[in-house]
Amino acid sequence: MTITHRSSPFGRTLCAMITPFTEEGALNRAGAQELAAHLVAEGCDGLVLNGTTGESPTTTDTEKAELITAVREAVGDRVPLIAGVGTADTRHTTELALAAEKAGADAVLVVAPYYSRPPQDALAAHFHAVADAGGLPVLLYDIPGRTGTRIDPETILRLAEHPRIVGVKDCSYDLLGTQKVLARTDLAYYAGCDEHNLALYAVGAAGCISTVANAAPRHIAAVLDAFDAADTVRAARLQLRAIPLIDSMMSAGLPGTVTAKALLSRLGLPAGSVRAPLLPASPEVTAGLRARYEELTGS
């Protein structure tokens, strides 16, 4: 028996890719191409660029477009590219969405505007403005822990009526609310928190947008592979095996960007430092990350 899921229009195992920098702190174009090609070869069937893990708050508009162009050159049409374009400003977000389309993105990821904390009607107007402005599909990014504003399930239900709003990256930590939307729409939901990858997939999500996939893409994909093969016991076992690394990368008091770059550097993959105000992981934290990685992968 094969378990079927709703459409996964942008792939199933997506990586929220870091943005590699050079030793001088500039965009590492060649490094981004190398890392993107590696992630695709290791099982990622979609890449999210310029998101939270990609340090979008501290990269310039020019760097964002250059990253999309460089990665498109590296992976061609083998996998879809989703570009984070969300800002606190509707006009700026719309400009970034148009630039991402021109640079070769297949869809845009739009976070709720942060700091100003707009009410739900203003949120809906913001997302409609971005979706109306260009020709690319839109994924909503619900991460109230960072933005200070939840995209309420009722708002998402209304937004689902827009023909270009096609999915959600879900970091709401509201499993009930998510299931309410899944039950009433065809939106492609992607788990945005690695500890929820299997749980959301089991109730009909399209897949995951994973930070941990920067370091362990094959394992993240294997969890969903096992579920698709109706081996739910193996899927659960693989998910639980990943929890120590997920915990170390995502719940140890440091942003996933910091831990992902620290671990990738130890693995010999392009990463570079993080940009201020973030600080790099300490040697002790990095050693712990490598230990959890070796426990998971055996290497």
Residue type for position 119: P
Q: What is the DSSP string of 219-272?
A: HHHHHHHHHHTT-HHHHHHHHHHHHHHHHHHHSSSS-HHHHHHHHHHHTT-S--
Pair of tokens at residue 245: 């690394």
**Nearest-angstrom CA–CA distance, 69 and 77:** 12
Dihedrals phi, psi of 259, to nearest 5 degrees: -70, -40
Alpha-helical runs (H) found in the chain: 29-41, 61-75, 90-103, 120-133, 144-147, 153-159, 175-184, 197-202, 217-228, 232-250, 256-266, 283-297
Active site includes 201? Answer: no
Active site includes 141? Answer: yes
Contact 232, 201 (CB under 8 A): no
218 SS3 class = helix
HSE (CB half, 13 Å, CA atoms) of 249?
Answer: 28
**Structural element, H or E, at residue 108:** strand 107-111
Burial 268-288 (b: 16+ CB within 10 A, else e): ebbbbbbeeebebbeeebbeb
Among candidate residues 64, 169, 201, 261, the one labeled active-site is 169
Among candidate residues 64, 141, 189, 201, the one labeled active-site is 141
Active site residues: 141, 169
